Amino acid sequence: MKEKIFKAEQMMTPEEKEATKEREISARLERLFGQFSEKINEGEDGVIYKVDTQNAEAAAEIKALEELGIKLGGEQAIKLFKLYHPDKAREEYEIQKEARDLLENKKEEGKSYAGIAKPYLHKDISIHPEIKAKLREDLVEPAEDRVGIIVMDYIEGEELLKMISRDALKSYCQAMKAEFNIGDPRGRAYDFFARFPELQNSEKGDSERIIDQMRPENIEQIINILGGEEQLYSFLKRRGIKYSPTVSEQVENTLKLLHANGLTWRDGHERNIMIAGDPKGAKARVYIVDFGRAKKFEGDYDEAKEALLEAGSEVGGQERRVISDETIIARLRKVTGKA
């Protein structure tokens, strides 16, 4: 049987061999995603899955991909785009790869930089019934029968937004308990504990553990209670909650490096900043993620940045808001005491 396959391959043209190879790569990626990955995060445009590299069958698929010329790193994540566009995965892959290559090759000695996950490949894969069932379980409903994916390094860490929201709520909870004990039954403390009754009679240590385990939708409630993201930062500052200056320094150094080389991120949201380690400690490791709105430009960044913001970002035929790189730098300076 193997001999027949070998002879059939020998009779193929180079184009046919390449097409066969691409089909096998796609099939193995589909299996890797469909059977051996777990949803870990979700954004406006995409869903992030982590590959279970400890699974023996998954490891076999990864080894088979290496034999096909696709060499992956240690732990992998897969970004799946919710809306299919033939060029979307390729475009984001290329700009993320360029950004990471710049970071690896042009960073200065003695400076700390926010990391960027290494992307390995992009691919459009078919949504077979098995994958469709998996996506439905994860509450993801693709509009097409194909999806674009990017395979990249998995980043160990947590969103900055979750970290600062929890810290704000812990402090706010203590303030509300003080008000509740002496307050007006129509006051804000009563409203607060009506939303989070499990926090009302808990000791400080217990309430902090409850907050640490809160789901993402509760994080949104916290932000709304405090008056939005800008007010969240003001609240942290008033309460004396600070993070290590290295957090803002790493992000700022990476963005300045990209600007100096004709790239801008344009999606500086706290959801897109991942931190490994204690954000209040000097050893915190910072990463920036999601290059779906990143854009290349020519000339001086200061001269180009206004036009870059006006350009917007189109996803699935819809214009999406972009966030200036200066906005996130200013926010991070507030919370690290550098403003």
Here the tokens at position 192 are 């607060």
Which residue, of 107, 139, 155, is where some domain finishes? 155
Does residue 132 share a domain with residue 48? Answer: yes
pLDDT tier at 336, thresholds 50, 70, 90: confident
What is the structure's pLDDT at 193?
A: 78
Domain stops at, among 155, 186, 205: 155
Percent of the chain's residues with pLDDT above 90: 37
Average pLDDT over residues 94-100: 97
- The pLDDT score that the predictor gives to residue 162 is 84
Within this chain, do residues 167 and 211 fall inside the same structural domain, yes or no? yes
Q: What is the pLDDT of residue 2?
A: 44
Residues 99 and 66 grouped into a single domain: yes
pLDDT at 78: 94
pLDDT in tens, 231-248: 788 888 888 888 999 999
Distances in Å between the alpha carbon of 272 and those of 85, 138, 159, 307, 323? 22, 21, 7, 23, 11
Number of independent structural domains in the chain: 3
Answer yes or no: do 108 and 219 share one domain: no
Question: What's the domain range around 202?
Answer: 160-238
Residue where a domain terminates, one of 190, 205, 238: 238
**pLDDT bucket at 98, cuts 50 / 70 / 90:** very high
Pair 212, 285 in one domain: no
Give the integer Cα–Cα distance in Å for 247 and 276.
Answer: 11
- Structure-block tokens of residue 337: 């005491």
Shared domain for 59 and 130, answered yes or no, is yes
**Do both 49 and 17 map to the same domain?**
yes
168/160 Cα distance (integer angstroms): 12
| Token pair recorded at residue 241 | 């909650």
pLDDT of res. 92: 95
